[in-house]
Chains A and B, each alone.
Chain A
Amino acid sequence: ETGVTQSPTHLIKTRGQQVTLRCSSQSGHNTVSWYQQALGQGPQFIFQYYREEENGRGNFPPRFSGLQFPNYSSELNVNALELDDSALYLCASSLGQGRGTEAFFGQGTRLTVV
């Protein structure tokens, strides 16, 4: 049990729709990162939020966006869903970014786009 919770656990959407995924970080953790994990692959970095600001982004298009709130919880929004967006979306929280601040992952949200 990492203390990182994500909702919903499963979701089915239609191509072209928009989706919002939510993450509650571990108590006291001020940094939240989002990863996409396609079936049979390792997680891929989407972006990171630190103290409510985006401070790093992977190779994902602008239709992937996010927010971090004052309580450090976070949202991942995906617009204009495509079939290839079907994946497990993982949220990870950490306290800062130095040594000893490794990220702890939630259980993920399984998104299926049909």
Chain B
Amino acid sequence: GQQLNQSPQSMFIQEGEDVSMNCTSSSIFNTWLWYKQDPGEGPVLLIALYKAGELTSNGRLTAQFGTTRKDSFLNISASIPSDVGIYFCAGRSYSGTYKYIFGTGTRLKVLA
């Protein structure tokens, strides 16, 4: 099935560092979302973006809706150990119904 391209695939960072990840698509989306998934759990919504160029923050997290509508970016500032997990982007598309197309995921590990 279709998946969006996320990079990096995984990353190890030191506690306190900032993290950046991105997501690209060959299709245009009207909504971009970022989810975090912990082992054995379902994805938890972090940020939703609705307009090209939009920049939205949620605590230490900041996400941007790319101006081409084919990409999105997530930044985490001053990472802490509980930021560990897999981050997924998702684009919401409409083809008779709304559905989410998910990215391949970025696995984040924070070293204390």
Report A's interface with B, CB cutoff 8 A: 2, 4, 33, 35, 40-45, 48, 50, 55-56, 58-59, 90, 92, 97, 99, 102-108, 110
Interface residues on B, range: 20 to 34
Report 13 cross-chain contacts, Cβ distance below 8 Å, ordered by A residue: A33-B100, A42-B103, A42-B105, A56-B96, A90-B42, A92-B42, A97-B97, A102-B45, A103-B100, A104-B45, A105-B42, A105-B44, A108-B41
Q: From residue A85, how far is it (CB to closest CB) to chain B in Å? A: 14
Number of A-B contacts (CB under 8 A): 70
Contact A43–B43 (Cβ < 8 Å): yes
Contact B42–A102 (Cβ < 8 Å): no
Q: Interface readout for B39-71 with A: 1 if CB under 8 Å, 0 if not?
A: 011111100101000000000000000000000
Q: From residue B3, how far is it (CB to closest CB) to chain A in Å? A: 5
Considering the complex, give the chain B residue whose CB is closest to the CB of A56: B97
Considering the complex, give the chain B residue whose CB is closest to the CB of A6: B42
Q: From residue B50, how far is it (CB to closest CB) to chain A in Å? A: 6
B25 at the interface (CB under 8 A from A): no
Contact A41–B104 (Cβ < 8 Å): yes
Q: Which of A41, A90, A105, A106 contacts B3 (CB 8 A)?
A: A41
Enumerate chain A residues within 8 angstroms of B100, measured Cβ to Cβ.
33, 35, 43, 45, 92, 103
B84 at the interface (CB under 8 A from A): no
Q: In the complex, A49 Cα to B41 Cα: how many Å? A: 22
In the A-B complex, list the 8 residue pairs whose CB atoms are closest, starting with the nearest: A56-B97, A42-B102, A105-B42, A44-B1, A45-B99, A97-B98, A55-B97, A107-B42
Q: In the complex, A32 Cα to B106 Cα: how many Å? A: 26
Q: From residue B53, how far is it (CB to closest CB) to chain A in Å? A: 16
B33 at the interface (CB under 8 A from A): yes
Contact B96–A59 (Cβ < 8 Å): no
Q: Which of B1, B42, B103 contacts A2 (CB 8 A)?
A: B42
Considering the complex, give the chain B residue whose CB is closest to the CB of A1: B44
Considering the complex, give the chain A residue whose CB is closest to the CB of B51: A99
